[in-house]
Amino acid sequence: MDIIQSIVVAIVEGLTEFIPVSSTGHMIITEKLLHIPDDNFTKLFTVAIQLGAILAVVVLYRKNFLAFRNIHFYLKLVAGVLPALILGYLFSEKIDNLLESSTTVAITLLAGGIVLLFIDKMFNQTSLGDEKETTYSNALIIGFWQCLAMIPGVSRSAASIIGGMQQKLSRSAAAEFSFFLAVPTMLAATAYSLFVKNWNRDVYGNEIESTVIRGYDIILETSQNTISFIAGNIVAFIVAMIAIKFFIGFLKKHGFRIWGIYRIVVGALLLVLIYTGYLKP
């Protein structure tokens, strides 16, 4: 992956991370369309590029994240991120295998789009208008909803926002809690990919014990990898800042239907591209 390709993928990440269309799914398809090699750096980049988007949330909502006396805010995030930490660790390899499938992305985009067409009517009874009104059980249940996004194409944002609305949060409150929950969730996924996971595996996904390769080793392996990683995160940060501000205002006015239509169109288009052989399945 060269620097231009990394910037393009980063723009896609920043635009799609916090809207309900699946950033991972869009990045996978973008990488395939750009003919980026499906190597360890590309797989790592697809996860670790989220670091820039995380910082965008922290900067925009710094009053929430820097209110250290509000211990309940942090404890709710801990409750919400626990399901993803446990299930992500248990199914890490299966999730990695799904990252290679365009067909999975296309089908889940399509199915998720159909759900979003009706979600505003399904969960229109709101009693919680602010993150401060949520309970620990609310946060935990939203965390389980978020785990659906381990399937590429589902969308972490969509799953957690729908989970929030199912727990009686308003659309905007559910979206903001989804942003907050993204920080520990994506930070954990990025840290695991960079510092814990052994990327030296055979074709069956088994670790090769003779040599341990961490994510940071892959990034530092070449100057191109290092520059692409840094540039990508900077671009993702800037674009995500813009996308978050846009999404909250748009969601309050228009709801989810337009995103459902978008997902159905993109999912159907991808299936056509796969069927015609233009895109690898």
Q: What is the pLDDT along the chain (281 residues), one digit of tens a residue?
A: 899 999 999 999 999 988 888 888 889 889 988 999 888 899 899 989 988 998 999 999 998 888 888 899 999 999 999 998 888 878 776 776 666 678 888 899 999 999 999 888 887 776 666 667 788 999 999 999 999 888 888 888 889 989 998 888 888 888 889 989 999 988 988 999 999 888 886 544 566 667 888 999 999 999 999 999 999 999 999 999 999 888 877 877 788 899 999 999 999 999 998 889 888 77
In a domain, residue 280? The reply is: no
Tokens of 159: 């799953």
DSSP track, 115-184: HHHHHHHHT----B-SGGG--HHHHHHHHHHHGGGGSTTS-HHHHHHHHHHHTTB-HHHHHHHHHHHHHH
The model's pTM is: 0.84
Tokens of 226: 């290092």
In a domain, residue 71? The reply is: yes
Residue 55 Cα distances to 32, 239, 242, 270, angstroms: 27, 11, 13, 31
Tokens of 266: 């993109």
SS3 content of the chain, % helix, strand, coil (to 5): 75, 0, 25
In a domain, residue 281? The reply is: no
In a domain, residue 247? The reply is: yes
Cα Dmax for the chain = 57
Judged by DSSP in three states, 26 sits in helix
Type of residue numbered 155: S
- Decide if 70 contacts 28 (C-beta within 8 A): no
In a domain, residue 215? The reply is: yes
Count of CB atoms within 10 A of residue 94's CB? 11
* Alpha-carbon gap, residue 37 to 54, rounded angstroms: 26
* Alpha-carbon gap, residue 25 to 46, rounded angstroms: 10
- Decide if 185 contacts 81 (C-beta within 8 A): yes
Tokens of 116: 């979003």
Question: Kind and range of the H or E element at 236?
Answer: helix 223-254
Range of the domain at 24: 3-275
In a domain, residue 68? The reply is: yes
Backbone angles phi, psi at 201, to 5 degrees: -130, 155
Domain count within the chain: 1
